[in-house]
Chain A
C-alpha cells in the first residue's frame, strides 16, 4: 500500500514552454502533498506544500508564478513549470501524506520526474 506515482518520468522540452507534472496517490487519500527539487548529487529541497482544495504554501525563494501547484483532489497534485528555462532542469519529486498531522506522519515518495529544458 501507500504508492505514489508521477507522470511523466522523464520530459524534455524547449526553453519557453510549460511542462506539467502529475503526482498521484494510488491507494490512499492524501490530504497533503509536497513538491521537492533535487539537484545532481544534492539533497531534496522542499519547494512547496500542497493541501487539497487550498492554495499551496511555497518555500522562501521559490517563485509561485513559475511553479504552479494545483491540488484538485485527494489523490492528485500537479506541478506546472511555466516558461521553462535550462536552469529549471532538475529532478522533481513529490510526496504524499495520509493524515493531516505533523512531521510524524510518514511521507510516501513518488519515483520522480527528470526535467530537461533545452
Chain B
C-alpha cells in the first residue's frame, strides 16, 4: 500500500522569504501526487498535481513542486511567501486503478512579519 510522509509538523517563515515543504512517498511504481492547502475551518483546495511528464509542476498561488523519483519526494516550493499563505498543507498520493487518496499528516505554515 502507498503511504506519504510529511516530516515537518510546523514551519515558520518570514513574509517574503522562500518556502519549501517536504513530502516523501512510498510506492513501488509512479504515483499520482497532490498538494492541497487547508485554511482554518475550511475544506481543502488543490494547489497542484503530478501524474506524468515534466517533473516540475506549476500550481496556483505561485506554488510549484518537483517530483524526484530517486528521492521519492514531491516537495512544494514558493519563492516568496505572503501572509495569506499561512495554512495547513497536505501532500497526498494516489495510485493507478484506485480512486482513493492517501494523505500525509500535514504541515502547518506560520508566516511572521
Question: Which A residues fall within an 8 A CB radius of B?
Answer: 4, 6, 32, 34, 41-44, 46, 49, 93, 95, 97, 101-112, 114
Contact = CB atoms under 8 A, between A and B. Distances in A.
Shortest Cβ-Cβ A-B pairs, 8 listed: A103-B94, A109-B43, A109-B44, A111-B43, A43-B103, A43-B105, A44-B103, A103-B32
Contact of A112 (B42, B51, B94, B99): B42
Interface string B91-113: 00011111111011110100000
B90 interface: yes
A79 to B, nearest CB: 14
A19 B103 CA distance: 26
Interface of B: 32, 36, 41-46, 49, 51, 90, 94-101, 103-106, 108
B99 A49 contact: yes
A51 to B, nearest CB: 10
A60 to B, nearest CB: 11
A103 B104 CA distance: 16
Contacts of A95: 43-44
Contacts of A44: 44, 90, 103
B89 to A, nearest CB: 11
13 contacts: A34-B100, A41-B108, A42-B105, A44-B44, A102-B32, A102-B98, A103-B99, A104-B51, A105-B99, A107-B46, A108-B46, A109-B44, A112-B41
A107 B46 CA distance: 8
B103 A102 contact: no
Contacts of B44: 44, 93, 95, 109
Contacts of A111: 41-43
A102 B96 contact: yes
A110 B43 contact: yes
Given A43-B106, A102-B94, A102-B95, 6 more contacts: A42-B106, A95-B44, A102-B32, A109-B36, A112-B42, A112-B43
